[in-house]
Structure 1
């Protein structure tokens, strides 16, 4: 999730655990700890593929959080002397702020290695977009109330707890909506006799009322959109070609295998200016994928391995109104038939 959401989630969790004992210090420590796991982006992993696939690795592991929490508590108690009475609560504050950060990240589509080092599997429920105001705003309101001078500490504690509950209910509702959307999408695919090898769905930007899905099918992939208000017959989808044969000469390269694994098979391969480009189909939309890698170079002898340079074609939020229109009107399609080069 985005940095603001992780900060206010950490603050809200911190205050819920220890706010009635130490006040706003719990909010500030929660904010710091809610940010801590994402500092792994500053680590020199050694290359674009490494940075892409090792992010949300050890720093988001429940086991690492469990091991490091006593050390962080020790450091905190060195700063706040006289709080030994709350040592166990400090432990829960630290552990829960770290682990809820990782858990929330696992609700997005990227992939979070919650069980590292026992497995590198990138857990991804893909029921939340990375930015969702309806999840963040209640948490932000609850945290703001802890700093208002006219709001008593007991009232702020109640408001913060209610805010946490509301955001958690919204999170649960997205899981229910995902089941509904998946049923609509699968019905639409079956109605068109499309044999699906792999399928994934994820919310559209800023909402859980509209969902994007990708279905992999024997040399093609389908991108579709479904609103919670759509009938299965109103689900929009379009087929696109991919050329996995371009990887044949470099299929044993570690970077290629790593990207295939991390994307869980949801990737496309195409030629672009004599480069073989592998695009992660899970994040973005057709022609505007967030993660693309130049994995090969086409030459007279075939395809040679390239630098794995990463480049982005992030969707523009200038078109956010189109997403809103698509929620209510299936005729307002977001599908792109061709890309502008």
Structure 2
């Protein structure tokens, strides 16, 4: 998730301490440290975006959501958040702050990253696999808005700040739970439409609650489309599954190429020769598609010595262009 949502979730979780405290009662140093430690723990893992990387693709796929996002490393991150909070509030007690920081790290950062479509490597260093629940996009205003409103009310009505934060947390959690139920329901519907499919996956669509994207894996091709409650799955495009010979074994072994292929769960792969023996490799993923056309594609320029001279992420156009493409197809009457 985005950093604003992580921080607001951490703040709301910090309000869980001493729910029996009378409204308007003064906060103890430990109460204040718990709030600060929870917010810090919810934000600290994303400091890995500052780590150096060979190129933007390696940064997006290796540096970010690495060890700082792993369950095995969580006690260390929580300890760092606790230490910073105790430096500010020196009279606070260690254990409540550490427990709250650990809870906030798990529930306000690791779990939200898990329910996004991008996924996260929770099991590092034991497994490099990206895990995901595919419930929301990385940025979902309907997750953030209840938390933001709760924080605003807590700031204005400080005697009831704890209740305001917890109500916002409950509303946000209910929305995410609804999306999880909806995804499971729509996945079953797509499976019923494609009983012979090797695999079926339903993904969140950009800024939409009811319309979801799906990908069906058949022996030789992908079927991409959308599905909504109360409507049958709409097939939008079929694409051939990439043949193994599209990339040589040596090309697949290039670290950046290997990372991009590991990231793409439904890869759309192509390569084309360039000047001076260079090969341009394009690796997209149909889980990010707009009417069957991938909108996220890693473009890698690989030299003849198998070094990567350029690597970039193409998003299928600007936000305005993507919205216009979506509207254009929506306005075309169905046959």
TM range (shorter): 0.7 to 0.9
Q: Over residues 3-34 of structure 1, what are the superposed CA-to-partner deviations in whole Å (9 max), with x where a residue is unaligned?
A: 22122112222233379644666555544432
**1:237 aligned residue:** 236
Contact 2:285/2:297 (<8 A) preserved: yes
3-state SS of the aligned residue for 1:125? Answer: coil
Distance 2:225 2:236 in 1: 4
Contact 1:222/1:240 (<8 A) preserved: yes
**2:184 aligned residue:** 179
**2:277 aligned residue:** none
**2:104 aligned residue:** 97
Q: CA RMSD in A?
A: 3.2
Distance 1:269 1:107 in 2: 26
Alpha-carbon deviation of 1:226?
0.5
- TM-score of the aligned structures, taking structure 2 as reference length: 0.81
Alpha-carbon deviation of 1:62?
2.2
CA 1:268–1:93 in structure 2 vs 1: closer, same or farther (change >3 Å)?
same
Q: Is 2:230 the partner of 1:224?
A: no
Distance 2:334 2:36 in 1: 44
Q: Over residues 124-182 of structure 1, what are the superposed CA-to-partner deviations in whole Å (9 max), with x where a residue is unaligned?
A: 0111112222221111111112211xx243x2211211221121111111111011111
Unaligned runs of 5+ in 1: 334-341
3-state SS of the aligned residue for 1:106? Answer: helix
**2:314 aligned residue:** 312
Decide which of 40, 47, 50 is 2:48's aligned counterpart. Answer: 40
User: Where do residues 1-341 of structure 1 align in structure 2 (5 Å cutoff)?
Assistant: 1-17=1-17, 21-22=27-28, 27-54=35-62, 55-84=64-93, 87-100=94-107, 101-148=109-156, 151-153=157-159, 155-190=160-195, 195-232=196-233, 235-244=234-243, 245-248=245-248, 250-264=251-265, 266-271=266-271, 274=274, 275-285=280-290, 286-294=292-300, 296=302, 306-307=308-309, 309-314=311-316, 316-318=318-320, 320=323
Task: Report the count of equivalent residues.
Answer: 316
3-state SS of the aligned residue for 2:128? Answer: coil
Contact 2:37/2:84 (<8 A) preserved: no
Contact 2:261/2:283 (<8 A) preserved: no
CA 1:18–1:308 in structure 2 vs 1: closer, same or farther (change >3 Å)?
farther
Contact 1:16/1:160 (<8 A) preserved: no
3-state SS of the aligned residue for 1:277? Answer: strand
CA 1:113–1:224 in structure 2 vs 1: closer, same or farther (change >3 Å)?
same
Contact 2:213/2:287 (<8 A) preserved: no
CA 1:39–1:225 in structure 2 vs 1: closer, same or farther (change >3 Å)?
same
CA 1:320–1:26 in structure 2 vs 1: closer, same or farther (change >3 Å)?
farther
Unaligned runs of 5+ in 2: 22-26, 275-279
Alpha-carbon deviation of 1:2?
1.9
Alpha-carbon deviation of 1:203?
0.9
CA 1:61–1:141 in structure 2 vs 1: closer, same or farther (change >3 Å)?
same
Contact 2:242/2:269 (<8 A) preserved: yes
Contact 2:61/2:263 (<8 A) preserved: yes
Contact 1:15/1:30 (<8 A) preserved: no
